[in-house]
Structure 1
Amino acid sequence: MTDLSDLRLSRYVLSVPSNDSVLVVGLLKRAVLEVSPEYWNALSESDENGNSTLSALPSELISVLVDARILVESNFDELAHARTQSLLARGRPDTFGLIVVPTMSCNMGCHYCFEDKPENDGGLPTRISEDLLNFAENRMTDPRLRTFHLRWFGGEPMLEIDRVLEITQKLKIMSASHGRRFRADMVTNGYGITRSCAEQMREAGLQAVQITFEGDQRKHDKIRRLSKAGSFDGIIASLKAAGDLLEFTARVHVAPYSVDTIPRLLRHLHSEGLHHVLKAIYFAPIFNYRQNDPRRNFQENSGLYLSSRAFATHEAELLADARQLGFTTLDPLDADYGVCTALRENTAVMNVDGTLSKCYLDAGDRNESYGNITGDIDNPQNLQKWRDADFSADPDCAACTFAPVCLGGCDKHARAASDKSMICTSLKYNYADVLQLYHG
């Protein structure tokens, strides 16, 4: 029998009114329960003498609340628990993630891109490709490994599709020979994926693709331009040609100058039947970052970039709009907040020259590399700073209700920014509306 006097409401709990009930959301375990207003009052309030009213709750409900860590023991250190869970996720040995940049060249020139893109860097040399395969082979001999996850990034990886297919297929075969699960995906602008190309990608083992939209066709084509024309129609053609062969996810960038056009984008995609093609669609703010101009990094500019609070309002409205049109959107409680690629011990970004970095924002930036694909560690400080990242050491984050899901947000951003106006999770500002969409 649980001693009710030793229980208290977790500090990481949200409550959202929902019709005639209350959604109780425990962020420590991302648990959602629906209870009556009376039960919520008993759970969250005290009587006139300051005593707990938990005895008004059924014992079965108490057990569920304890299991969900919505109720916790009085002396339970919740912040330390959240930190421990984060460290466990960061150190998981069963999955290795390798993000490969086969070229820094690109066929587009988006104004906000953080990368320096050469016109043609020649792509991955044969020697680097061979070193990559040897590196992967060494990783796959680790008896703790269960999954090898390959992601193609850039630049624009489709510019090196032959090399991408060759290496993906070899890694798929290698994974099978070691009894490892293999997953491969690509972040691409999505332009020019033909059905024949998609068939080759799928055969090689590359099945998932993330593409990006910037708003409706007129706005998108102003931002994501080829040399002489926009790219919108070409991306739509790719989705139609390959949507039954590849798993497409669409990232939609939200900025002050484009947000009003996104509802038209959603309706256009719906009219083309692409709500059935896209595995998911999600919305993301763009941010101010330049690899070679630290003075500009993460600075606010209300005309070009949205704060977390401003984005949150638009995000809630766009999620509701997308879901009403039949698009699949991602439950924010399922999102992998905080534990990004750079913070995971078993991940690396391999640049086209074979150097290794941790953060995808550092793709192509030699100043941020820590070693190379042959195993040399020549800049250990660039590796150690990610290992040292600790959201709980920040007083604001340590005191925040959303710490278990945000985990301090982007560490690179946090180290460079003077405040958290563009770092905090949007859920902090729109949770009532967004959680009602998914769980109400």
Structure 2
Amino acid sequence: MTAARHRLRSSRYNFCVPLGDDNVLYNAGTGASVRLSGQDARELAQLLCGPPRRVAAKTIPRTLLATLRRGGFLVDHEFDELDMIRERYWHARGRTPMVITLTTTQDCNLGCYYCYEERSRDALAEGDVPAIVDWTRQRLVASGKDSLHVDWYGGEPLLNVDFIDAASAALQSLCKEIGVSYSASVISNGTCWPDDIAGFVRRHRLRQVQISFDGLKPNHDKRRRYRRGRAPDPSVSSFDQATAVVDGLLEVVRVDVRFNADHGNQCDLDGFIAFCKDRGWFDRAFPCVFQLARISDFSERAGFLSRTKLSEEEFERLRERSRQMVPDEATLDETTTRSLYPLPRTSVCAALANDSIVIGADGNHYRCGLQVGEKDRPVAIRRAGGDMVPGRDAAWWTGFDPTRQPNCSRCSFLPVCWGGCPKKHLEGDSHSLHEQSLYWRKALPQKIAWQFGVALQESEFTFAESDQFRPASLDP
């Protein structure tokens, strides 16, 4: 027993956040946190939150020692923490719920200046439904998953409502037949919904809808213009059309109201949130969730957006403004809120889930929705006869492991981040990956402090690069 107490070391995933005279210890590997008070607290925090080092257990009171070991702040000398995270990651890839993203069409009735999608006549048809159902059946049965989520995607997905009707009915029938729960969501510009919004939501069992806005009416209508001849009603603007749709949706389903921000419309943020309040969107049967998004170069085809996108610092200021103006943290999306406790990841994005897929309007299979339409990025290519053959990136997606990436493997945010967007790794987008690091350096202290009733500001404390990247070897 005595020998075991001496063979301990500090975890490389420990962090310390000062709160006045106290210090909060947080471990990203376990999600545990403990508030330490007293004159020795800072010294202990510094001891535990630097590079991994041996710790003389006999110098720590027994009760505190038990707390630190239980929370993962102290681990056995031989324990491989990175291997633990790797095992957790691969388990998550197999157990993350199954999501099928169906790109109903590459067409859209709007011509947004920042859109990087190539407009085409590609669209899924009712004749594609049997193959989609067969693929889904095979995966559900083989994986033993007990749920299926379908995400309707585009282009503007509701331009192909006949396919949605056919595929939705067939997939719901499949799930009923094999005893699997079913749900769906849709990402839409809000301009071409049927009059019976409530019936559409119930029929397709939607649990979430995202509607995007580009600011207040003048900015939105200028930036999200109808393409020539595509306005359903020339007397109604895209802003008014989307507003009316949100009004109807909030009676029956959760709506993520997404504000797409860049240098040209960031000044609309306060006014737009005020508009949402005046419209009563935060007080409806299903209160809207405000989602702040940064217009950015999500694809290799969107490099032109580097001139208009906000810097991470500028975007963080908008995030803070959103927190101040939105009535309740519960009505903020998870990337903006501070109230969501930073637990270590136990699931992966659909792009990495073993049993999820994106089916493009061209019939090809992709891992990430942002790659749809990129002719060199399918992981499975549909031949003329309907057979699928592997694409060039298939093996990369199958084998991607952030715990083996040079930077991620030595990053102390790894358990709560898992390397961020895998697409950025595939494309070698070091700038975006660096911005992800900056986000966690600023956001993690705020999320930790919030659990102790403190609204910590970025100007008060952020983690440094030395907190994020620490030597793997023990200090002498």
TM-score by length of 1: 0.85
Aligned residues: 429
Given that 1:370 and 1:379 are in contact with CA atoms closer than 8 Å, whether structure 2 keeps it comes out as yes
Given that 1:6 and 1:73 are in contact with CA atoms closer than 8 Å, whether structure 2 keeps it comes out as yes
- Residue by residue, what CA displacement relative to the aligned partner does 1:343-394 show, whole Å, maximum 9, x if unpaired? 2221111012321111111112332122257984423432111123232333
Q: State the partner residue of 1:250.
A: 257
Separation in 1 of the partners of 2:46 and 2:435? 34
Root mean square deviation of aligned Cα: 3.3
Q: State the partner residue of 1:71.
A: 74
Choose 319-328 or 177-186, whichever is displaced more: 319-328
Cα distance 1:324–1:172, how it changes in 2: closer, same or farther (>3 A)? closer
1:83 Cα deviation after fit: 2.5
Separation in 1 of the partners of 2:40 and 2:251? 47
Separation in 1 of the partners of 2:418 and 2:116? 24
Q: State the partner residue of 1:315.
A: 319
Aligned 1:260-299 pairs, distance under 5 A: 260-276=267-283, 277-290=286-299, 293=301, 297=303
Separation in 2 of the partners of 1:146 and 1:137? 12
Q: State the partner residue of 2:398.
A: 387
Cα distance 1:51–1:245, how it changes in 2: closer, same or farther (>3 A)? closer
Separation in 2 of the partners of 1:156 and 1:307? 28
3-state SS in 2 of match to 1:117: coil
1:112 Cα deviation after fit: 1.9
- Residue by residue, what CA displacement relative to the aligned partner does 1:29-69 show, whole Å, maximum 9, x if unpaired? 3334444355743642459xx9657855562x544443332
1:401 Cα deviation after fit: 2.2
Q: State the partner residue of 2:469.
A: none
- The answer to whether residue 112 in structure 2 is matched with residue 105 in structure 1 is no
Q: State the partner residue of 1:367.
A: 376
Q: State the partner residue of 1:174.
A: 174
Given that 2:262 and 2:308 are in contact with CA atoms closer than 8 Å, whether structure 1 keeps it comes out as yes
- The answer to whether residue 118 in structure 2 is matched with residue 116 in structure 1 is yes
3-state SS in 2 of match to 1:367: coil
Choose 101-110 or 374-383, whichever is displaced more: 374-383
Given that 1:12 and 1:27 are in contact with CA atoms closer than 8 Å, whether structure 2 keeps it comes out as yes
- Residue by residue, what CA displacement relative to the aligned partner does 1:136-180 show, whole Å, maximum 9, x if unpaired? 222232362211121111111111223213322321221122111
Cα distance 1:95–1:411, how it changes in 2: closer, same or farther (>3 A)? closer
3-state SS in 1 of match to 2:281: coil
Q: State the partner residue of 1:417.
A: 429
Q: State the partner residue of 1:235.
A: 242
Gaps of 5+ in 1: none
Cα distance 1:23–1:137, how it changes in 2: closer, same or farther (>3 A)? same
Given that 1:252 and 1:283 are in contact with CA atoms closer than 8 Å, whether structure 2 keeps it comes out as yes
Q: Which amino acid aligns with 1:105?
A: D
Given that 1:270 and 1:325 are in contact with CA atoms closer than 8 Å, whether structure 2 keeps it comes out as no
3-state SS in 2 of match to 1:314: helix
Cα distance 1:310–1:63, how it changes in 2: closer, same or farther (>3 A)? farther
1:209 Cα deviation after fit: 1.0
Q: State the partner residue of 2:18.
A: 17
Separation in 2 of the partners of 1:104 and 1:300? 21
- The answer to whether residue 356 in structure 2 is matched with residue 343 in structure 1 is no
Given that 1:306 and 1:422 are in contact with CA atoms closer than 8 Å, whether structure 2 keeps it comes out as no
Separation in 2 of the partners of 1:366 and 1:380? 10
Separation in 2 of the partners of 1:316 and 1:138? 45
- Residue by residue, what CA displacement relative to the aligned partner does 1:290-335 show, whole Å, maximum 9, x if unpaired? 46x4xx64x883x412344543343244234325587344227269
Given that 1:109 and 1:224 are in contact with CA atoms closer than 8 Å, whether structure 2 keeps it comes out as yes
Q: State the partner residue of 1:190.
A: 190
Separation in 2 of the partners of 1:377 and 1:361? 21
Gaps of 5+ in 2: 49-53, 228-233, 335-339, 454-476
1:99 Cα deviation after fit: 0.6
Given that 2:217 and 2:239 are in contact with CA atoms closer than 8 Å, whether structure 1 keeps it comes out as yes
Cα distance 1:153–1:236, how it changes in 2: closer, same or farther (>3 A)? same
- Residue by residue, what CA displacement relative to the aligned partner does 1:203-242 show, whole Å, maximum 9, x if unpaired? 3322321222333333333322224674222222112112
Choose 265-274 or 251-260, whichever is displaced more: 251-260
3-state SS in 2 of match to 1:99: strand
Aligned 1:136-147 pairs, distance under 5 A: 136-142=136-142, 144-147=144-147
Cα distance 1:139–1:325, how it changes in 2: closer, same or farther (>3 A)? closer
Q: State the partner residue of 2:37.
A: 36
1:410 Cα deviation after fit: 1.9
Given that 1:89 and 1:339 are in contact with CA atoms closer than 8 Å, whether structure 2 keeps it comes out as yes
Cα distance 1:51–1:411, how it changes in 2: closer, same or farther (>3 A)? closer
3-state SS in 2 of match to 1:44: helix
Given that 1:104 and 1:117 are in contact with CA atoms closer than 8 Å, whether structure 2 keeps it comes out as yes
Q: Which amino acid aligns with 1:431?
A: L
Q: State the partner residue of 1:26.
A: 27
Q: Which amino acid aligns with 1:73?
A: D
- The answer to whether residue 209 in structure 2 is matched with residue 209 in structure 1 is yes
Cα distance 1:18–1:375, how it changes in 2: closer, same or farther (>3 A)? farther
1:274 Cα deviation after fit: 0.9
Q: State the partner residue of 1:304.
A: 308
Given that 1:337 and 1:407 are in contact with CA atoms closer than 8 Å, whether structure 2 keeps it comes out as no
3-state SS in 1 of match to 2:137: helix
Separation in 2 of the partners of 1:63 and 1:109? 60
3-state SS in 1 of match to 2:142: coil
Choose 341-350 or 199-208, whichever is displaced more: 199-208
3-state SS in 2 of match to 1:424: helix
Choose 311-320 or 82-91, whichever is displaced more: 311-320
Given that 2:17 and 2:24 are in contact with CA atoms closer than 8 Å, whether structure 1 keeps it comes out as yes
Q: State the partner residue of 1:396.
A: 407
User: Identity of paired residues, percent?
Assistant: 24
Separation in 2 of the partners of 1:363 and 1:178? 30
